[in-house]
Structure 1
Amino acid sequence: MNKKEQLMEYITQDIVAFLIEDYDLSMDEAMHKVYTSEIYGKLTDEETGLYLQGSAYIYDMFKEELSNGQIVQAEY
């Protein structure tokens, strides 16, 4: 596993843990939500560079996807 893949895996683990804590989900439910999400697809796509962002930032984007059914990213 290279460094980029490690970062992706660590962030994924963090998001699963956040979901379990915030939404009282089982490990299986949380993992299913993450691995089937649009944000996970973007996180694991090296071209997006999303894996370079912090776990909390990505988790906020993930919660927006859960709420809105799609990724919503503020423009500055």
Structure 2
Amino acid sequence: MTSKLTPEQRQLLKDELSVEIAGYLVDDFKLSPQEAIDVLYTSETFERLQDDATGLYYQSPGYVYSFLQNELKNARVE
């Protein structure tokens, strides 16, 4: 049996994941909370998280964070 989430429920899941991921950034990179939010909100990972079609909002914070870590690791300064 599959239950459908309302848009509000999906957004709540995304918001909760974002809080967890920002916390990981604070801990791992010693960023301020505002810096962590800025890094997250300007990332491709965040764009994917916001896209319902990816289903990332169903995943664990650690799983989604692994995408962000990879993105940051492979980022180039231009």
Identify whether the pair has TM-score above 0.5, normalized to the shorter chain. Answer: yes
Q: 1:64 and 1:54 mapped to 2: Cα distance?
A: 16
Equivalent residue for 1:12?
A: 18
CA-based RMSD: 1.4
Larger Rg: 2
The unaligned stretches of length 5 or more in structure 2 are: 1-6
Equivalent residue for 1:22?
A: 28
Q: Output one character per residue of 1:7-36: Cα deviation in whole Å (capped at 9) or x when no partner.
A: 000000000000001111011110000000
Q: Number of residues paired by the alignment?
A: 70
Q: 1:68 and 1:22 mapped to 2: Cα distance?
A: 17
Q: 2:52 and 2:72 mapped to 1: Cα distance?
A: 23
Once superposed, which parts of structure 1, at least 4 consecutive aligned residues long, lie more than 4 Å away? none
- The CA deviation at 1:47 is 1.0
* TM-score normalised by L of structure 2: 0.85
Q: 2:14 and 2:64 mapped to 1: Cα distance?
A: 11
**What's the secondary structure of 2:31's corresponding residue?**
coil
Q: 1:46 and 1:2 mapped to 2: Cα distance?
A: 12
The unaligned stretches of length 5 or more in structure 1 are: 70-76
Q: Identity rate of aligned residues, in percent?
A: 35
